[in-house]
Amino acid sequence: MRVKTSTGALWISPPTGVLKCNIGSSWVNGRTNCGPAWRLRDTKGKVIMHSRRSHSSVHDQKEAELLATLWAVDCLKTTRFEKIIFESSFRLAREQLQFYRSVDDNHPHIARDFITKLQQMQAWSLDYVVPSRNVSAMKIAESVTSNHRYQSYISEDGLAWLQHQLEIDAQGSSVPST
């Protein structure tokens, strides 16, 4: 599995022909719904699609992060996007996916489903980024837990209430190094 770490503070545009999917998750406790979310952008930072959903009975932060990552991969595979850079600030999911065949694997079914779906895509990478490069995806996810927005959806374009943050991201984006 290809897992990279990026530490720069700015959102970096994907290469031409590739899209970037930032993934967020908000988990409070095992009795409260958690909120996974993602948003897909092109090389200019324009939001192509975004999504949010709600999961109940999620036992820990790691499971919430894994479910958010699986949700993003599953949605983009279903909508026929094939060349994706997935970015998240999920430390626990990153560790789980890097070593998903370890003896103490707590969520093997999620990791296995995730790997299976990724292998069906034409080109992908899974990158760990600092939280400042993932602000808008996290805000969408936090809207589930803080505002009790439990309706799941996939939508084109961005969210009106998040437009300012998306503009900041796009203006601050840097061109990828080749």
Global pTM value:
0.79
Query: Can you list the residues of the chain whose pLDDT is less than 50?
Result: 1, 102-104, 177-178
70 burial class (0-12, 13-18, 19+ CB within 10 angstroms)?
buried
Which residue, chain included where needed, has tokens 């970015």?
87
Nearest residue to 23 (alpha-carbon basis) of 82, 94, 80, 105: 94
pLDDT at 159: 64
Fold of 3-172: Nucleotidyltransferase; domain 5 (3.30.420)
For strand 123-129 and strand 19-26, is the pairing parallel, antiparallel, or unpaired? unpaired
